Every structure is written in C-alpha cells, then in structure tokens.
Amino acid sequence: MLVAAALCPCPPLLVPEVAAGAAPELDGLRTACDEALRGVLAARPELIVVVGPGPGTGATAHAQGVPGTFRGLGVPLDVRLGRPGSEPPAEGPPLPLPLAIGAWLLDRAGWTGPVRGLSAGADRDWADNRADGARAAESGERVGLLVLGEGSARRDLKAPGYLDERAPAVDADLARALARADDEAFLPWLDADLARELMVSGRSPWQVLDGAAEGRDLTGRLLYDAAPYGVGYFVALWN
C-alpha cells in the first residue's frame, strides 16, 4: 500500500559535483527535494520504489544494488540503488541517469532500507503505466515512491527545446494538479504526443504514481515550482 510519494525532477545539475561552480543556483531545489524525501521517510515505508523516465514504450525494472555513475558527465562519482554495501546483480545494465539521480537523492536522505527501481518509457500507454503503479503499491504493506520527472523543457528561448508558447500554461496546470494530489486534473489530457512536443519527461512516471495512488485518500503539497533553465521543475509531497 502506498503511504507517501516524493515527486522530484532529475536534472544532472541537481548533483553538486556535476553542477560544479553553478551548484548554488539549485540550492533551493535540493532543499525542496530533501524536504519531500523527509516526508516520505516520516511515513515509515518498508520499501521505496524509485520511478523515472525511460525511452520507448517499454518498462525496465532495476534491482537493489544496481550501480549507476556520473562518469559520462565527466565526474568521478558512482552510486548504487539501495543501502550501502548491497551487492549488484551478476548481470544487467547500469542505472539510467534519472535513476542514478534518484539513488543519489535517497543516499542523501539517509535511506538504508529496501529499494527497487522502474524506468517507464516515454511513449507507454496510460493503462500500462497505471498497472505498474498498482503492482508497485502492492509490493509491500507500506510502500513509498520517489517519482522522477520534469515539466516542459520549452519554457523560454534558452530552454533545451527552445520556446513553445503552450508550455507555460501546461506547466501551470501540472503544478496545480501536483499540489493537490489530483491525477484526474492532468493525466487524461497529457498524452504521449503532447508530452513529446513539449518535452515533458514526467508523464509516464506520474502515471505510474497514479496507479499506485488509486483508492488512496492522499493530500498533496507543492514545495517547488520554477523553471531556472527553461525547464519546469516541480517538487511535491503526496501523503
């Protein structure tokens, strides 16, 4: 059963070692992510499932202990999904970057309990994502989620996808929905085509959260809503 969820963005610059001299620019975002995860840990979960965006229409499960790295970004920093000292599986690819950031956030929060990971493809059907969320919620008596994803990457002229005039209004609707834990306010209209056009990476992870939260009377609190690099970053706590 889902007891709480932290919703955080996953830009590589969230990790200070990656951001280097620009690290202070996202101090407020890091503080909000820390607060959201403290809220999840305060709900006393027995298991945390980290859900992040992935490619295509499939989904990939990631076992506890799978390693991740930021070396591809020029930073000699490695992480693991789960408690310190957990052994990686004998086979399997390393964590994709969003899940590596999730592992970094959990380690920063001091979580040492069981962890699982899931990468949900950007073009997956809503029904498939919701089914994965329901299974995640049923994987323990007290389950917490760390849900990674971002709003539009087309918020201004310097954004990664340049400016799309629809982006600010769409992100405003997303922020309102996340603030009140209201999946019905945004999931039906946030289809794969619109998310792709506006470069919204959070669509599938949020839909997984929808499946996990179904039937639960959750309240939401928006802790951060800004677009410092032309990308919509939201942090919220559902519990």
Q: How far, in Å, CA of 186 to CA of 172, rounded?
A: 11
CATH 3.40.830.10 assigned to domain 2-238? The reply is yes
**Predicted model pTM:** 0.95
Burial of 85 (0-12, 13-18, 19+ CB in 10 A): exposed
- Tens of pLDDT, residues 102-131: 999 999 999 999 999 999 999 998 899 999
Cβ distance 43 to 4 under 8 Å? yes
What residues contact residue 74 under an 8 Å CB cut-off, 6+ apart?
A: none
DSSP 40: H
Type of residue at 37 = L
Q: Report phi then psi at 230, rounded to 5.
A: 80, 15
pLDDT, tens digit only, all 239 positions of the chain: 999 999 999 999 999 999 999 889 999 999 999 999 999 999 999 999 999 999 888 999 999 999 999 999 999 999 999 876 656 665 667 899 999 999 999 999 999 999 999 999 999 988 999 999 999 999 999 999 999 999 999 999 999 999 999 999 999 999 998 998 765 655 666 888 999 999 999 999 999 999 999 888 899 999 999 999 999 999 999 99
